[in-house]
Amino acid sequence: MQVKEIYEFLDDLSPFELQESWDNSGLLVGAMEDEVQRIYLSLDVDSVLIDEVKSNSLLIVHHPLIFKGLKNLNSTRYPSNIIKKMIKKDISLIAMHTNFDKTHLNRYVATEVLGYQNVVCEEFFCYFDVQDTFDALSLHVKEKMGLETIRRVYAKEFVQRCALTTGSGGDLIGHVKADCFLSGDFKYHQAFEAKENNLNLIDIGHFESEAYFPVCLMKNLKNFPLKVIMSNSKNPFDYK
């Protein structure tokens, strides 16, 4: 099957034109005319994963391997080391990043993982009603996402409406129209701003909130003519 056929299917599912101007989703390694025998799904591309992927395969990932222009290809350094291995094994790469956040991933985490209904999505936000205490919401999120610990900002006791953005949503704090915001990678000054503006925060982690990408996309590839393999990169952080 040609990469072009798969790309067109993905573009219908989650149009690449929806990606943000700073993003680099789309076909990053390979050519549209390349023939591939199987598909792998993962959040990222790392060295362990690329060693496991068989030749003549297509990787569909969430995070683009190439974000900025490369001035050289030093194969001893990331990401050039990954690109070299991919070329040698005839592995193609498609990234579905901010376009898939908007169309699928945020809604999937809100509904399928956290179990909320009547979710309304606006760009990078998914909104849903909670009508519970902040402590109860925190415990619910922790249990449903399998988090060992959560980092949070307590600004008010009761939460009526909640907003969710998977990945890193700290820069969006000023645009949240809710009592609580769930996202990852919150910085100190963002937390301070939220508390002063009476907005609760729950940090659900960047990796942890987006690790659902493979299973979310797999739901839309059930009847695909190629074998689709769910995999995932490793979280670069560990916790002691």
pLDDT, residue 238, reads 87
Q: What are the start-end ranges of the E strands in the chain?
A: 26-29, 38-42, 57-61, 92-95, 120-122, 125-133, 151-153, 158-168, 180-184, 200-203, 227-230
The CATH number of residue 83's host domain is 3.40.1390.30
- Same domain for 156 and 123: yes
- Same domain for 194 and 224: no
pLDDT, residue 33, reads 98
Q: Is residue 237 part of a domain?
A: no
Q: What are the b/e assignments for 161-179, b being 16+ CB within 10 Å? A: ebbbbbbbbbebbeebebb
Best CA proximity match to 93, nearest among 73, 109, 79, 74: 79
Distances (CA, A) of 139 to 108, 120, 152: 19, 23, 11
Q: Is residue 240 part of a domain?
A: no
- What is the dihedral sign for C-alpha 159, 182, 232, 89? positive
pLDDT, residue 69, reads 82
pLDDT, residue 222, reads 86
Range of the domain at 179: 100-206
pLDDT, residue 214, reads 98
Q: Is residue 236 part of a domain?
A: no
pTM score, whole prediction:
0.95
- Same domain for 188 and 153: yes
pLDDT, residue 70, reads 85
Q: Is residue 69 part of a domain?
A: yes
User: Domains in the chain: how many in total?
Assistant: 2
Q: Is residue 89 part of a domain?
A: yes
pLDDT, residue 176, reads 98
Task: Tell me the H-state helices in the chain.
Answer: 3-13, 47-52, 80-88, 98-100, 106-108, 134-144, 188-196, 206-210, 213-218
Assess whether the previous peptide bond of 79 is cis (omega < 30° from 0).
Answer: yes
Q: Give the span between the Cα atoms of 97 and 37, in whole angstroms.
A: 23
Which tokens belong to 45?
């591309």
Q: What is the DSSP letter of 167?
A: E
- Low-confidence stretches of the chain (pLDDT < 70) are none
